[in-house]
């Protein structure tokens, strides 16, 4: 099994300072002594542009700079990346400035000149505290596809949103697909796409015909899950024309039985039964999703599902069920806790707002698309349900009826219970003979001991008197 991904580093630091002497010294020291990946720019506007190339572990910025100063930059970073620690560096420190910086959520106030030892101690402490703060709600994400390009088509925008939130992302492609001669080319495309997303790539060694809903597929997936330990997992839907996609779904259901959140994306070959209930807004990530999909552009011409206009139009269709202009749909298999994908920043060149992507359930005032409203290109099949209302409305009405009938014994809405009542043995008593009969005259009045001529019940005994079970709708 081949694994590839970005080379490990201790962290990434963005240095913004118009003092060339200090900026170059700091960048060189961070690279050599701390082994941090460091980017150095000389003005705040350029620094904001590089902020999109995150995630970053720390921003070091000068206080006095031409154009936007350090405090103004601190405000902008707080809006775009509130979890990112920012340290202010200045050679003209005053108490007022320090207080102002801390009020604006600066992580540290560093005064020049500073020794290399003290500088590295301060930086490493800031990076560590920032990581501990973000680790409390960081996700570990795994996306499983049968072939290279499956995950990129179905969930690349959502994976990019996870990365912009600082989450760990990995992609498992079970096989290189067919024909065998194209596997090397597709593997190269998968590596390129994973680099665009910033994901760790795991390439399985199964043949396309070997992807079954049982072993060896389950074993391959279980092995990757054991090493990565994902908190959320994305894979194929069972509602798919491709057999390998359906088998991958079935194998993931077994292998990922301990993963609390499991969602199914729409592949290139869905059926009209694909019925999503959760959606991810990808407005600010669509350009990089298209770049990831374009990594497979040298596939045969019949693979028209790789065309950018189809990818965008599909995302635009699904946005009608959630906020934003572009969205990716998901069927939820398990949803034990909400997926935290906070709003990200706009991708360069998209011209779209930085709305990020949030996995969200379908709005309460809209019904989920299903056989009645399939995805783009699907044929619509509408079922007549006039005058019946939605299932939730019918269930609520049933609950109200049950509450009126049964009071505290009413059952949950939408459930109909059949209770067998114990037969009553009236026994001898008023108005009844020794055999338990009720004697009546011609007018239907009870007669007999104790009730001469007393008007009685209707001539037909009740269900309880007959000893038959009662029916209660709850």
Token pair of 195 as six digits: 């680099």
One fold for 2-135 and 140-361: yes
**Which of 286, 11, 37, 337 shows the shortest CA–CA distance to 161?**
286
For 328-355, the pLDDT digits (tens) are 999 999 988 655 454 443 333 333 333 3
Find the range with the poorest average confidence among 50-64, 164-178, 293-307.
Answer: 293-307
The Cα–Cα gap between 42 and 49 comes to: 12
Q: What is the largest CA-CA distance in the chain?
A: 118
- Whether pTM > 0.85 for this model: the answer is no
Find the range with the poorest average confidence among 124-133, 224-233, 234-243, 256-265.
Answer: 124-133
For 55-88, the pLDDT digits (tens) are 788 999 988 888 888 788 888 887 777 778 888 8
For residue 388, pLDDT beyond 50:
no
Q: What is the pLDDT of residue 174?
A: 92
Q: What is the pLDDT of residue 113?
A: 87
Cα-trace Rg, the chain: 33
pLDDT band at 453 (very low <50, low <70, confident <90, very high): very low
pLDDT band at 20 (very low <50, low <70, confident <90, very high): very high
Pairing of strands 445-447, 439-440: antiparallel
In eight-state DSSP terms, residue 384 is P
Domain ranges (residues) in the chain: 2-135, 140-361, 412-472
Find the range with the poorest average confidence among 56-60, 229-233, 388-392, 430-434.
Answer: 430-434
The residue with greater pLDDT, 13 or 425, is 13
pLDDT band at 474 (very low <50, low <70, confident <90, very high): very low
User: 2-135 architecture in CATH?
Assistant: 3-Layer(aba) Sandwich (3.40)
Place of tokens 């996700």: 139
For residue 396, pLDDT beyond 70:
no
Q: Helix, strand or coil for residue 233?
A: strand
Q: What is the pLDDT of residue 101?
A: 59
The Cα–Cα gap between 17 and 47 comes to: 10
pLDDT band at 386 (very low <50, low <70, confident <90, very high): very low
Percent of the chain topping pLDDT 70: 62
CATH of domain 140-361: 3.40.50.10320
**Which of 139, 166, 161 shows the shortest CA–CA distance to 228?**
139
């Amino acid at each position: 099994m081949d694994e590839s991904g970005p080379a490990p580093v201790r962290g990434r630091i963005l240095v913004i300072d118009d003092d060339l002497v200090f900026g170059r010294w700091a960048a060189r020291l961070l690279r050599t002594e701390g082994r941090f990946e460091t980017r150095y720019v000389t003005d705040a506007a350029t620094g904001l542009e590089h902020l999109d190339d995150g995630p970053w572990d720390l921003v070091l910025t000068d206080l006095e700079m031409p154009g936007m100063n350090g405090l103004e930059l601190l405000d902008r970073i707080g809006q775009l990346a509130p979890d990112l620690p920012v340290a202010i560096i200045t050679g003209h420190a005053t108490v007022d400035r320090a207080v102002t910086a801390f009020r604006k959520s600066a992580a540290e106030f560093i005064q020049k000149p500073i020794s290399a030892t003290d500088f590295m101690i301060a930086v490493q402490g800031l990076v560590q505290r920032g990581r501990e703060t973000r680790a409390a709600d960081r996700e570990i994400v795994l996306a499983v596809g049968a072939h290279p390009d499956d995950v990129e088509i179905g969930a690349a925008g959502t994976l990019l949103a996870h990365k912009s939130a600082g989450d760990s992302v990995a992609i498992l492609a079970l096989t290189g697909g067919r024909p065998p001669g194209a596997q090397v080319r597709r593997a190269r495309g998968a590596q390129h796409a994973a680099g665009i997303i910033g994901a760790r790539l795991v390439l399985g060694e199964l043949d396309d015909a070997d992807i079954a809903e049982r072993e060896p597929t389950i074993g391959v997936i279980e092995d990757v899950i054991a090493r990565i330990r994902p908190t959320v997992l994305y894979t194929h839907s069972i509602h798919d024309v491709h057999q390998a996609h359906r088998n991958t779904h079935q194998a993931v259901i077994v292998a990922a039985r301990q993963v609390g959140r499991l969602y199914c994306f729409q592949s290139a070959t869905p059926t009209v039964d694909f019925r999503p209930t959760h959606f991810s807004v990808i407005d600010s990530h669509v350009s990089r999703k298209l770049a990831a999909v374009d990594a497979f552009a040298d596939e045969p011409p019949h693979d028209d599902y790789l065309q950018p206009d189809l990818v965008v139009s599909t995302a635009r269709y699904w946005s009608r069920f959630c906020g934003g202009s572009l969205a990716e749909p998901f069927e939820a298999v398990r949803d034990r806790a909400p997926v935290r994908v906070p709003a990200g920043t706009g991708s360069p060149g998209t011209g779209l707002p930085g709305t990020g992507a949030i996995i969200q359930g379908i709005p309460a005032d809209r019904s989920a698309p299903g056989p009645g409203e399939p995805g783009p290109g699907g044929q619509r099949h509408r079922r007549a349900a006039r005058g019946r209302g939605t299932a939730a409305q019918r269930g609520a009405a049933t609950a109200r009826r049950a509450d009126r009938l049964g009071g505290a014994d009413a059952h949950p809405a939408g459930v109909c219970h059949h209770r067998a009542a114990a037969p009553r043995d009236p026994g001898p008593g008023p108005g009844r003979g020794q055999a338990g009969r009720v004697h009546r005259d011609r007018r239907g009045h009870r007669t007999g001991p104790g009730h001469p001529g007393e008007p009685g019940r209707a001539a037909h005994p009740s269900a309880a008197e007959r000893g038959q079970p009662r029916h209660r709708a709850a």
